[in-house]
Amino acid sequence: MELNNDIDQFDIPLAKRTYQNKPNSTLIKKLLIFSPFLFLIFSVAALRFIRNLELIPLNNLKVQVERNHDARILGHLPYNETPKEKLVLIEPNIEVHIDMRDSLLKMREEAKKDGIYLVFLSGYRSINLQNDIFYSLKSIRNQEAAERARVSAPPGYSEHSTGFAIDIGDATQRETDFETDFENTDAFRWLIKNAPKFHFKLSFNKDNKYIDYEPWHWRYEGSIEALKVFESSNRKL
Ligand SMILES: [Zn+2]
């Protein structure tokens, strides 16, 4: 019986056996023929994948580097002093960039028509004047630079040096000049509603993490030159 069983196991017709083995050997042959190509395709795909992996963190790093090196000092961006020939005197002690004069004066006229009396407190300031303001007030108030920088820009870092910044008060509430309380005046409420029509924007709003809120400080963005000056500041980082 045992012998018969053994014979039965191997008693498979030759044709069938050949048929059963044929697909496997063909597959192996195909794999051998195509293996260099497959290897090549796999290598290219792997290299691309690795390159992508490297590029992602590198790009992130680039953004990070730009963030850390946007030339801010104590939260203030650097600004060049506007050349004298681009400045115009609009009233005693108030000089502004010629690009913004008409818009600024028109804004005051329009406010007056609504019964709002805007007063201009400070326009262009030279870097020398900013130097005096920053260092004298810092020492008078016994403040460290970082503390002072929250309320006043270091010299070379003030929007006022560009001629495109203006500090505005309410002529009927002068006690709020340069005070956060200016935000409760009719003048401020009017400005919030109407200043964009004249291309003025609040520079230091409540969201700024370095510089204190300055409701009186507005900047002009109504000319290409002004937009160029404030490009870095407007760029979202
Ligand atoms: Zn100001």
Cβ atoms of 220 and 86 closer than 8 Å: no
The residues with which 90 forms a beta bridge, in sequence order, are none
Residues in the chain: 237
Integer-rounded Cα Rg, in Å, for the chain is 37
What mean pLDDT do residues 38-43 have? 75
What CATH code would you report for 84-234?
3.30.1380.10
| Segment (H or E) for 232 | helix 231-234
CA 232 to chain centre: 7
CA of 113 to the centre of ligand 1 (A): 25
Going from the Cα of 107 to the center of ligand 1, the distance in angstroms, rounded, reads 18
For 17, 69, 76, the CA distances from 182, given in Å and listed in that order, are 98, 34, 22
The pTM for the full model equals 0.68
Q: Tell me, what's the pLDDT at 15?
A: 55
Distance 65 CA to ligand 1 centre (A): 29
CA–centroid distance, 186 to ligand 1, in Å, is 19
- Residue 93 C-alpha to ligand 1 middle, in angstroms? 14
Alpha carbon of 178 to ligand 1 centroid (Å): 8
CB 155 within 8 A of CB 125: no
Q: List the Cα angle 73/76/80 in 5-degree steps.
A: 95
Residues lying with their CB under 5 A of ligand 1, a single-atom ion: 167, 217
Query: How distant, in Å, are the alpha carbons of 29, 32, 69, 189 from that of 199?
Result: 75, 72, 29, 16
The Å distance, Cα 152 to ligand 1 centre, comes to: 8
Ramachandran sector of residue 204 (left: φ over 0; alpha: ψ -120 to 50; beta: rest): beta
Higher pLDDT, 118 or 231: 118
Query: Rounded to an integer, what distance in angstroms lies between the CA atom of residue 201 and that of residue 192?
Result: 9
Are 184 and 170 a contacting pair, CB within 8 Å?
no
How much is the pLDDT for 209?
Answer: 81
Give the β-pairing of 165-170 and 217-220: antiparallel
Contact 106, 118 (CB under 8 A): no
Q: What is the pLDDT of residue 14?
A: 57
- What are the pLDDT digits (tens) for 49-102? 555 544 444 444 444 444 445 788 888 999 999 999 999 999 999 999 999 999
Locate the domains of the chain by residue range.
Answer: 2-68, 84-234
The residue type found at 60 is N
- Ligand 1 center to 214 CA (angstroms): 8
CA of 151 to the centre of ligand 1 (A): 9
Q: How many whole angstroms from 217 Cα to the centroid of ligand 1?
A: 4
Q: How far is the CA of 153 from the centre of ligand 1 (A)?
A: 9
User: Of 235, 72, 220, whose CA–CA distance to 154 is shortest?
Assistant: 72
Query: Across 28-32, 49-53, 63-67, 203-207, which has the greatest mean pLDDT?
Result: 203-207
Are 168 and 120 contacting, i.e. CB atoms less than 8 angstroms apart? yes
Distance 160 CA to ligand 1 centre (A): 6
Ligand 1: centre distance to CA 102 (Å): 19
Query: What is the share, in percent, of the chain residues with pLDDT greater than 70?
Result: 77
Non-local (6+) Cβ contacts of 91 within 8 A are: 120
- Give the confidence band of 210 by pLDDT, cuts at 50, 70, 90: confident
